[in-house]
Structure 1
């Protein structure tokens, strides 16, 4: 017996993805510019086509079934590829037009991507970019499932069907107020800082998550005095004597020029990490995304840089 033919409608796939991401049918319908009634009817037809239930529904919203999780993975890949095809043909395969989605760690978003994108976009006024800060595990998962074009991470990368292109090296350092008991040290290890109060990046930053995990591995809970949203704010708090902090060397050195800070090397293997751009399939990327990867590779060719 032959299987039932399934014909996908891109509008239905977009609607399904919106509902899944919003975890709410009404909000998903709004993003798809459909009424809730029309969205419900389309969703019902999609479920009938697939002969599978895609969502569990309750008073709080909707959650994906196992079949829904499978469809979401495929739908994202299909929709991203459709966008890539549009971009390629819109610019006849050139790199001067299109849209790129990038998920990156804290340092990429705040430290070096503004400069890289500034140069890149100045030469390509018809390219648009969606740059979002994400945790490393979310970046890897999103590149794998096709919900983002590029991922930028530091440190070891689990190879889950990904291409990881190393483009520079980063370093984490300890920063203290001048006159702090640790400020005269040339090098420290992580155990040396565990009993001090720390200035940290905000919840959800890759650096914050990394240090909490590292502390747990040492059987210790890191004492957080205050959490902020930028490396400049971290350095200002450190200069004021509120606490100490671990941050990228590039940020520490830049802010040391205008603040009274001491920068101490961390004598641990994890402090020196490779910075990589992740792609699912380089050949499948639109021209503008390939050009941005080339720009990233060129930006790191001048030597080591610090990053989260």
Structure 2
């Protein structure tokens, strides 16, 4: 019979590569681990791994078990953690997934008071997902997803917690700095600096340039907000960021926010979570705190 510990062994072998390291990670002896898998292989009628030198390589059957382990094990861990939190009085870890590069500065405004109010709850922020943010949320790898672009799907619920304006960031000396707004065509000779995200998921493209059939002279990417703003202030290009984030840096950098289009582009930061399940009180408290951040940014 296929049991949870079999899936844990397959997952450990795939992660660590050798029988010795997998056994150490699971606090088992190599003989116990091998014996458990041999019984499973007898039940399944197929080998689950093959030796490749010192390392183990999963067979097709083993890969199928690994796919199941990646889906099921996080759900076991989530349920056990939830029950432990109930038993211990709201202790645990709030695992937050991020699909928004500039949201980190906003998130810090929420995390600081949250940690003070819930000293027994830790916070873990994750940005790299094996199956994307939605997959991580549905797969129980995270407890909530922070995103400005929610993808509504059965089993998920989103709450808007913070509204902001998405603006063009230019140096103070830029010709558009004194304009009330810019048109898509105004950017035709500009170097646009963005985060390393697919262009179709960037608002400056999807909601501004592409619908107007416009483009930029050059598009380059930078991972960190601070370096991006330094580049803009030095006249190396323009960028598009939340207005509140630009205003936070105006005291130290000669930069200006300019409205994108006459009506502007307005967005909401959303918190997404799994619908219809019991949530610990601290998760609801975090959402309430997130809604109160307007006066902090």
Q: Check whether TM > 0.5.
A: yes
Q: Structure 1's 168 and 304: CA in aligned 2 closer, same or farther, altered over 3 A?
A: farther
**Cα distance in 2, alignment partners of residues 282 and 175 from structure 1:** 41
Q: Which residue of 1 aligns with 2:76?
A: 78
CA apart distance, 1:266? 1.4
Q: Which residue of 1 aligns with 2:252?
A: 258
Matches within 5 A, 1:153-168: 153-168=147-162
Q: Which residue of 2 aligns with 1:89?
A: 87
Matched, 1:179 2:184: no
CA apart distance, 1:103? 0.7
CA apart distance, 1:89? 1.0
CA displacement 1:123-175 (0-9 Å, x = unmatched) = 2222112111247x711111111111111111232314212122222332110
**Cα distance in 2, alignment partners of residues 183 and 198 from structure 1:** 16
Q: Structure 2-normalised TM-score? A: 0.77
**Cα distance in 1, alignment partners of residues 260 and 295 from structure 2:** 16
Q: Which residue of 2 aligns with 1:210?
A: 202
CA apart distance, 1:255? 0.5
Q: Is the 8 A contact 1:53 1:68 kept in 2?
A: no
Matched, 1:243 2:234: no
CA apart distance, 1:197? 0.9
CA apart distance, 1:245? 0.8
CA displacement 1:45-83 (0-9 Å, x = unmatched) = 556556677679878965873554244212221221112
CA apart distance, 1:258? 1.9
Q: Which residue of 2 aligns with 1:295?
A: 286
**Cα distance in 1, alignment partners of residues 51 and 204 from structure 2:** 36
Q: Which residue of 2 aligns with 1:69?
A: 67
2:139 aligned to 132, 141, 145, which one? 145
Q: Structure 1's 269 and 111: CA in aligned 2 closer, same or farther, altered over 3 A?
A: farther
Q: Is the 8 A contact 1:100 1:129 kept in 2?
A: yes
1:119 aligned to 105, 110, 113, which one? 113
Q: Is the 8 A contact 1:171 1:305 kept in 2?
A: no
More divergent stretch after superposition (218-227 vs 98-107):
218-227
User: What stretches of structure 1 of length at least 5 have no aligned partner?
Assistant: 1-5
Q: Structure 1-normalised TM-score? A: 0.75
**Cα distance in 1, alignment partners of residues 163 and 10 from structure 2:** 40
Q: Is the 8 A contact 2:100 2:148 kept in 1?
A: no
Matched pairs, number: 289
**Helix, strand or coil for the counterpart of 2:190?**
coil
CA apart distance, 1:37? 6.8
**Cα distance in 1, alignment partners of residues 72 and 192 from structure 2:** 43
**Helix, strand or coil for the counterpart of 1:175?**
strand
Q: Is the 8 A contact 2:10 2:65 kept in 1?
A: no
Q: Is the 8 A contact 2:109 2:293 kept in 1?
A: no
User: What stretches of structure 2 of length at least 5 have no aligned partner?
Assistant: none
**Cα distance in 2, alignment partners of residues 276 and 186 from structure 1:** 28
Q: Is the 8 A contact 2:181 2:262 kept in 1?
A: no
**Cα distance in 2, alignment partners of residues 152 and 166 from structure 1:** 10
Q: Structure 1's 166 and 212: CA in aligned 2 closer, same or farther, altered over 3 A?
A: closer
